[in-house]
Chains A and B, each alone.
Chain A
Amino acid sequence: MSKAKPKTRTNGKAKAAKEPKTATRTLKVDALARVEGEGALHVRVRGDEIEDIRFRIFEPPRFFEAFLQGRIYSDAPDITARICGICPIAYQMGASQAMEQALGVQVTGPVRDLRRMIYCGEWIESHVLHAAMLHAPDFLGLQDALQLAKDDPEIVETALNLKKLGNRVIEVIGGRATHPINLKVGGFYRAPRKREIRDLIEPLKWAIDSAIGVAKVFAGFEFPDYEDDYLCVSLRHPDEYAIHEGRLVSSGGLDIEVKDFPDHFQEEHVGHSNALHGMMTDGTVYLTGPNARYNNNYAQLSPLAKQVAKECGLGTVCNNLFQSILVRMVETVYACEEALRLAEAYEEPEASSVEVTPKAGIGAGCTEAPRGICLHRYELDGEGRIVNARIQAPTSQNQPQIERDLRGVVQKNLNLADEALKWRCEQTIRNYDPCISCATHFLNFSIERG
């Protein structure tokens, strides 16, 4: 553990050369490393002035929405789950809740608890993957997680075990870890046995302590100094730190039902990106994700999570997104605690789901995906077939704010040499744990054998 000391990058500030004021600098990062998906960044600077910043996403337009039209309501959770291999629960649950609203049913009691618990599993696995494997190397001057594993196998092993436990929670409740098969509109196909849930208790106790340990190591990093006055948008629930349901609120005083989202938020298509850009209807950009949740709902975190935040140097508001790695670990601690609480209280429900009768209707659902609010809205015909589908993923909502951060970070760091500035920009994007395409991957071999 002790080896994981923050290092100054050799091409960092210390060696930065001041560029002549009149020169035009163009920074291009054609394929961003360590983000989920395909993205690129283009920055053009003349002297001390930023002429252009474009965060480009190669994500194909969301054919999933068209793909859903004409399908029966119950197909939506499993099909939308395929949008993302990292956060399928967000899609399955958002779709399910939207359908439940359209069909006039409510999921309560132990089935609701199971939903919250499986969502905790997703937060744990996704947050730890990003924080330890993709984000931490940014602060260590290490090129990638592989180097981190060579230098400090213990923290990597711990992170892998935490992630494995998050996956295990998903597997026990959802049937399998990737694209779970046990979730449906109305609840679950089968409720897990009490014994299966109880087997998670000891590992979750271990996980709380381990997540705190990882958080404290990360708190020793040096964080670049950049803050913005973010408009934070998140869910809020009266009784708990909102994860899987609630009202939509903003730090600007907005407080609406999820179904009213289209009245206050819009998506715009911009030329340089295939992903839609989300903003408020008045054009204001906003932030969603861990820091937005933390800033809006800090008071509802557990005492232990608050204490960990304090020991990591966080206040009740965190507007430095380079510290989002700490916020993710605080949320991981909280998710482990919540999962433990729910596991200890678990009794097998009499029915694993609420009965649903197809009918015409419109419904909206929203959950806090690890990266931020993920919205679904569906219109059904009299047979329960999907007439219209609309899905707003967190990364497209964050995209304008990412560009705004990039502009601010570049402006503040113009004294850095190109390589260091480029690195800082990539780091700025990774603060958001962007899940850009969520849907494909393939190997590109340039050798042929056999």
Chain B
Amino acid sequence: MTPVFPAPPISSTSPSSGGRATASKVLVIGIGNRFRRDDGIGPILADRLAARGIESIEQSGEGTALMEAWSQADHVILIDAASSGAPPGTVHRFDAASEAVPAGLFHYSSHQFAVAEAIEMARVLGRMPQRMDVFGIEGYDFSYGEGLSPEVSRSIDRAEGLILAELRENGLEVEKS
């Protein structure tokens, strides 16, 4: 039994929120849940970058949706909350396009087919963008509720600065907010 699956006639979807499209197909993906305090850092940073005219979307972190989201982009910036034991507000950075993600180093508390799996799956299936920079901002408070902890709030500007520097280095003109 070898079923044949024809290519699906599904039109591609464009990111539906955030700033305007840019010629260089840069996409910022803010991952997290705004109702779990510091877990909202990804979407909050994505909002800030959208305000500067950079195409930015929010995602829950489910892996297949992530792969779909970045399918049309050349350069992807993934922003997520991290929980590694480092001081809250620490900005971790990972070049996912050129380095394999050591899956054992990632701990997921709820979505097992998540960021690391999506990246490695995309690599297997040839669905990786040319560049992908993962920024993880160390969180402190992941309890229910809105708003970041003071520790993480203080790191927003620095994290945003690092991401903007990365984008400018790659030739993207970024508006001043």
Where the two chains meet, the residues of A that have a C-beta atom closer than 8 Å to any C-beta of B are 1-2, 31, 33-38, 60, 63-64, 67, 79, 82, 85-86, 129, 133-134, 144-146, 149-150, 153-158, 160-165, 167-168, 171, 175-179, 199, 202-203, 206-207, 209-210, 212-214, 216-217, 220, 436-450
Closest chain B residue to A450, Cβ basis: B93
* CB <8 Å contact, B2 and A2: yes
* CB <8 Å contact, B120 and A443: no
User: Beyond A206-B10, A213-B5: 11 further Cβ-contacts under 8 Å?
Assistant: A145-B117, A156-B121, A437-B109, A441-B32, A441-B33, A441-B39, A442-B81, A444-B83, A444-B84, A445-B94, A450-B92
Chain B residues with Cβ under 8 A from A445's Cβ?
82, 84, 86, 92, 94, 105-106, 136
A177 to B10, CA, bound (A): 15
* Interface Cβ pair total, 8 Å cutoff: 195
* CB <8 Å contact, A449 and B8: no
Q: Write the B2-28 contact mask toward A (1 if CB under 8 angstroms, else 0).
A: 111110111101001100000000000
How many B residues are at the interface, by size bracket?
35 or more
Closest chain B residue to A63, Cβ basis: B144
The interface residues of chain B, by DSSP majority, are classed as loop
Whether a CB of chain A sits under 8 angstroms from the CB of B36 is yes
Q: How far is the CB of A194 from chain B (nearest CB, A)?
A: 16
* CB <8 Å contact, A220 and B1: yes
A126 to B107, CA, bound (A): 22
Q: Write the B56-95 contact mask toward A (1 if CB under 8 angstroms, else 0).
A: 0011111111011000000000001111111000111110
Partner of A38, one of B2, B16, B110, B114: B110
* CB <8 Å contact, B59 and A443: no
* CB <8 Å contact, B3 and A437: no
A160 to B113, CA, bound (A): 12
Closest chain A residue to B134, Cβ basis: A443
* CB <8 Å contact, B13 and A168: yes
Closest chain A residue to B1, Cβ basis: A216
* CB <8 Å contact, A442 and B142: yes
Whether a CB of chain A sits under 8 angstroms from the CB of B143 is yes
Interface pairs (16), CB distance under 8 Å: A1-B3, A38-B109, A60-B144, A144-B117, A146-B117, A153-B124, A160-B67, A160-B125, A178-B65, A209-B6, A213-B3, A439-B36, A440-B109, A440-B142, A441-B61, A442-B82
Chain B residues with Cβ under 8 A from A175's Cβ?
16
Interface-central residue, B10, B31, B67, by most chain A CB under 10 Å? B10
Interface-central residue, A60, A153, A441, by most chain B CB under 10 Å? A441
Chain B residues with Cβ under 8 A from A437's Cβ?
109-110
* CB <8 Å contact, B10 and A439: no
A175 to B68, CA, bound (A): 16
Q: How far is the CB of B46 from chain A (nearest CB, A)?
A: 13
Q: How far is the CB of B3 from chain A (nearest CB, A)?
A: 3
Q: How far is the CB of B73 from chain A (nearest CB, A)?
A: 16
A235 to B1, CA, bound (A): 36
Q: Write the B113-156 contact mask toward A (1 if CB under 8 angstroms, else 0).
A: 11111001100110000000000100100111100000000000
Chain A residues with Cβ under 8 A from B125's Cβ?
149, 153, 156-157, 160
Q: How far is the CB of B34 from chain A (nearest CB, A)?
A: 8
Chain B residues with Cβ under 8 A from A209's Cβ?
6
* CB <8 Å contact, B112 and A82: no
* CB <8 Å contact, B109 and A442: yes
